[in-house]
Amino acid sequence: MSGQTAISLTTGGLVLGGAGVCTWAAVSPSSDLFGRAVRRAGSPRAIALTFDDGPNPAVTPALLDLLDRYRARATFFMIGRHARSSPDLVREVAARGHAIGNHTDTHPNLIWLSPARIEEQLARCQDAISAATKMAPRWMRPPYGFRGPQLARVLRRGGWAGMALWTRAMFDWKPQPPERMIGRMARVRGGEMLLMHDGDHRIQNSDRSHVLRSLEHWLPRWADDGFEFPTIDDLARPPLPAAAN
């Protein structure tokens, strides 16, 4: 092999390797290459419950009742167009003490959008949520967890608190027997942030009954084990100072 050929192969390998790293960083919830994210519950005695793609009139009200029953709070990352169609439900989520995050207006893949288009998606969702609650979310979650370097720049420029990802996805975005999701939730451990869905970004009134049934099984068990359920806003608050002796 000539020296020139070896250099070409090495350079090609570096390019492919770099492309692979960037692809992984764009889609992996564990990567901070394109901006740091909150993805854990902050304590081994806590489980952070998060729900994407709502609000959904077919499921979210029953889910709120279930969370109330076990004094559990959650974070709802809402889609702007769903928030505009169900403003009363947006207000109800906030009134019951849950956090609301921005999940864009129409749920696009942000990797392919320009900074201006990302800003527009976030702004339209922000307007929909603010119109219902008089409050603006401070946190966002990128659809599918996909992001590029432009997202971090947009968030810094817009003064956002940051983005939230997750440690464990429940793979609940299509209808399924609740027993399947209950089995997956058996692997949940303290300190994790769970990705679940109370809605479907494509349609309203989607079937998410398997999510509700699975939480009906696990919430009482987690509560009996002493777990807490912090929101994204709880996780962002600095710890209280230790009491003086």
Q: Which residues on neighbouring strands pair with residue 51, listed in sequence order?
A: 76, 196
Catalytic center residues: 52, 197
Say how far apart CA 73 and CA 130 lie, in whole Å. 20
Please count the helices (runs of H) and the strands (runs of E) in the chain.
9, 8
- Amino acid at residue number 164: A
Cα separations in angstroms, 60 against 18, 106, 196, 231, 241: 42, 19, 12, 17, 36
What single-letter DSSP state applies at residue 83?
A: H
Question: Prior bond to 55 cis, omega within 30?
Answer: yes
Say how far apart CA 54 and CA 129 lie, in whole Å. 12
Residues 6+ apart with CB under 8 A from 244: none
Residue-wise burial string across 36-55, b where 16 or more C-beta atoms lie within 10 A, e elsewhere: ebbbbbbeeebbbbbbbbbb
- For 16, the token pair is 């492919």
